[in-house]
Structure 1
Amino acid sequence: MMGMFSFSAAHAQGKKSFEAVDPTYELMNLPKVDLTKFKKNKNGAYVLFDGSSLEGWRGYNKTYVPNKWTIEDGALKFSKKPSVDKPEGGDLIFAHDFKNFELEFEWKISEAGNSGVFFLAKEVKGQPIYISSPEYQILDNEKHPDASKGVDGNRQSASLYDMIPAKPQNAKAVGTWNKSKIIVQGEKVQHFQNGKKVVEYTIRTPEWNKLLQSSKFSQDKWPLAFELLSKVGAEPGVIGFQDHGDDVWYRNVTIKILP
């Protein structure tokens, strides 16, 4: 439990004055896995998803895998279509905390689809995963309306969602596999898409806070998000895949631990 968030208001010359303190939040204490029990590939990266097992994965703020997440043809799939045996969705995380790493994965999105990849996230009781995590955007840039929103394309695929656009924008067509990589080392973060570095930024700096203040996570719009994101990466966090209500597939998910 962190500090309290409150406002004290007074009237002075017809204006309100506010005094803000840190917002209140509670971190969940849910099971984590021993990474050393997972296999490494020839490049020394741990295989987090091998196409056949969901070992190590569970829902965000849950102890189990929501059953809209399944394995289909060697890929991890979120299914949009509701059914009797797949009624529950939610974001999916790998239950281990990472700090410095090189995360690689492949993805493909459905027509007009939207998803995202989270990292350095905390499981905050009663809050969505993106309140504490940067988001590597996954999107159909051609048909999803988010592609034309935001600023300068900063909601298109591989972008730091709502903050920095991916350039060059080299996502492949809907239904085609894209290859992505996220590198976090210290305060430096890099996004790669299909072999190109498309985004680079530095967290926990004045420049980072300026980006937050220009986004929907600003201190005025969302004080708790600003509080958590301004400190992101100071401690290890989980990685996750987003349920945005659209069909999406992930495969070949690996992570190399960096010093």
Structure 2
Amino acid sequence: MAGGNAPYRVENGELIGRAAAKTPNSWLVSNQQYGDFIVEFEAKTDPILNSGMMIRGQRRADYRSGVVHGYQAEIDPSKRAWSGGLYDEQRRQWLYTLGRNEAARRAFRSGDWNRYRVEAIGNRIRTWINGVPAADLVDDTDARGFIALQVHSVSDEVAAKNPEVRFRKIRVITDRPQRYALPETKLEQQGWLTNRISPGEARAGWRLLWDGRTTNGWRSAKGPSFPAKGWAINDGILSVEPSGGGESTNGGDIITTRDYSDFELSVDFRLTPGANSGIKYFVDPSLLKGEGSAIGLEYQLLDDERHPDAKMGRDGNRTLGSLYDLITARNLSDPDSPGKRINPPGEWNRALLVVRGNHVEHWLNGFKVVEYERGSPEFRQLVAMSKYAKWPRFGEGKSGPILLQDHGDRVDFRSIKLRGR
């Protein structure tokens, strides 16, 4: 046992865990450590109890006082239905959600037995739920660890109902598991390799928009060259240098050297306390020649807790993940948990922009937070009420460069990748 003190028992060939009040997540941990392996099991949980199987799990005295952490294949009976997704317990949170995998969401049978398969081979982890591909992750954080069965922490009210999770038919292959790996699927692969494209991402058309070393492919939003100051590249990280919080007053914004019109953009970013920045798209550098940031649609990057901009605008439309000054970021992926999933300043977050013609989506750490149609009556009404009202047909250009904003605060970027045109 590790973590909390929820009770486990064996009964009729089933390993059963019961939720308990006033205790953190509880884990039944394997004695053996596993590197490359395939594990299959069946699980059934009460509809009010979250659970999961941790794979390559970790527990070290030098990490958060020995808390259990690592990859977890999710058992999620909520309306969100992300069973089979991959969660990084006590670390980076969600690595592979089912927000864009409707087939796997439908495959889970709440209140019934569900069959899981997990393949952990090399730096790739794949999952299936009732035979349906659920997750395909490439990440090199942990290559070996224990397997553990979770009983999630619950409120006193839920604990009073004695919810249980049941596991059975757990079996594992450790001898050359690659011989038994299932064939490739059409499932989208998500890579967490720093400044590298995974094989599956490459097959799907992803490429690095920043190479992790040079300024190639980027220039100043106000000139033909990369800024001589205000930006730094160190250890695979592109950073805005702090300069007192002014908007584009130091090195200034940087933009891509080519335009994009139909694309997906993934950016890992790390805020410092109180920081403000942004990722802009469909930028028109010609609209503002003087001081200030170039004009374009903006995926807002902000420390909502500390920066005053979070309380400005309307209804929170200047907070992290929002379409700046237009649409407030909200959790659109999880009806039971309206709050955004944010890693705090000092930790990495992942922004995803999806642009399909006029249809645009903002995603934050695997959760959809904004969705809209450029040029629609609703969009134009929002523009008319915003700081962009003076720019005719704001945000409706056919194409434009992508911009990283200098707002005078230290913000770090890495693993900037794009597919599309």
What corresponds to 1:256 in structure 2? 419
What corresponds to 1:90 in structure 2? 252
Provide closer, same or farther for how the CA distance between residues 146 and 88 of structure 1 changes in structure 2, counting only shifts above 3 A. closer
Write out aligned runs for 1:216-235 (5 A). Answer: 216-218=387-389, 223=390, 225=391, 227-229=392-394, 232-235=395-398
What corresponds to 1:201 in structure 2? 372
Which has the higher relative contact order, 1 or 2, with Cα contacts under 8 A spaced 6 or more apart?
A: 1
Give me the whole-angstrom Cα distance separating, in 1, the residues matched to 2:268 and 2:366.
12
RMSD: 1.9
Q: Which residue of 136, 139, 142 maps to 2:305?
A: 142
Aligned residue pairs, count: 207
Residues 1:174 and 2:345 aligned together? yes
What corresponds to 2:325 in structure 1? 162
- Matched residue SS, 1:244: coil
Give me the whole-angstrom Cα distance separating, in 1, the residues matched to 2:308 and 2:369.
21
Q: Give CA-to-partner distance per residue, 1:105-153, whole Å, 9 cap, x none.
A: 100111111000100112216155543x111000011100111222221
- Matched residue SS, 2:341: coil
- Measured after TM superposition, the shift of residue 73 of structure 1 is 2.0
What corresponds to 1:62 in structure 2? 223
Q: CA contact under 8 A between 2:250 and 2:406: conserved in structure 1?
A: no
Write out aligned runs for 1:68-107 (5 A). Answer: 68-81=230-243, 88-107=250-269
Higher fraction of strand: 2
- Measured after TM superposition, the shift of residue 170 of structure 1 is 2.1
- Measured after TM superposition, the shift of residue 40 of structure 1 is 6.7
Provide closer, same or farther for how the CA distance between residues 96 and 129 of structure 1 changes in structure 2, counting only shifts above 3 A. farther
What corresponds to 1:189 in structure 2? 360
Q: Which residue of 98, 113, 119 maps to 2:275?
A: 113
Q: CA contact under 8 A between 2:240 and 2:412: conserved in structure 1?
A: yes
Q: CA contact under 8 A between 1:107 and 1:251: conserved in structure 2?
A: yes
Provide closer, same or farther for how the CA distance between residues 234 and 216 of structure 1 changes in structure 2, counting only shifts above 3 A. closer
Give me the whole-angstrom Cα distance separating, in 2, the residues matched to 1:40 and 1:93.
21
Provide closer, same or farther for how the CA distance between residues 155 and 81 of structure 1 changes in structure 2, counting only shifts above 3 A. closer
Q: Give CA-to-partner distance per residue, 1:20-74, whole Å, 9 cap, x none.
A: xxxxxxxxxxxxxxxxxxx976312121112112101111021111121111221
Give me the whole-angstrom Cα distance separating, in 1, the residues matched to 2:243 and 2:358.
39
What corresponds to 1:49 in structure 2? 210
Q: CA contact under 8 A between 2:208 and 2:417: conserved in structure 1?
A: yes
Provide closer, same or farther for how the CA distance between residues 103 and 233 of structure 1 changes in structure 2, counting only shifts above 3 A. farther
Give me the whole-angstrom Cα distance separating, in 1, the residues matched to 2:364 and 2:294.
21
Q: Which amino acid aligns with 2:359?
A: K
Give me the whole-angstrom Cα distance separating, in 2, the residues matched to 1:40 and 1:57.
19
Q: CA contact under 8 A between 2:253 and 2:294: conserved in structure 1?
A: no
How many percent identity over aligned positions?
36
- Measured after TM superposition, the shift of residue 228 of structure 1 is 4.2
Give me the whole-angstrom Cα distance separating, in 2, the residues matched to 1:158 and 1:164.
9
- Matched residue SS, 1:249: strand
Q: Where do 5+ consecutive residues of structure 1 fail to align?
A: 1-38
Give me the whole-angstrom Cα distance separating, in 2, the residues matched to 1:122 and 1:40.
29
Give me the whole-angstrom Cα distance separating, in 2, the residues matched to 1:51 and 1:214.
39
- Measured after TM superposition, the shift of residue 214 of structure 1 is 1.5
Q: Which amino acid aligns with 1:155?
A: R
What corresponds to 2:117 in structure 1? none
Question: Deviation above 4 Å: which 4+ runs of structure 1?
Answer: 127-130
- Measured after TM superposition, the shift of residue 216 of structure 1 is 1.6
- Matched residue SS, 1:107: strand
Q: CA contact under 8 A between 2:284 and 2:294: conserved in structure 1?
A: no
- Measured after TM superposition, the shift of residue 88 of structure 1 is 4.3
- Matched residue SS, 1:93: strand
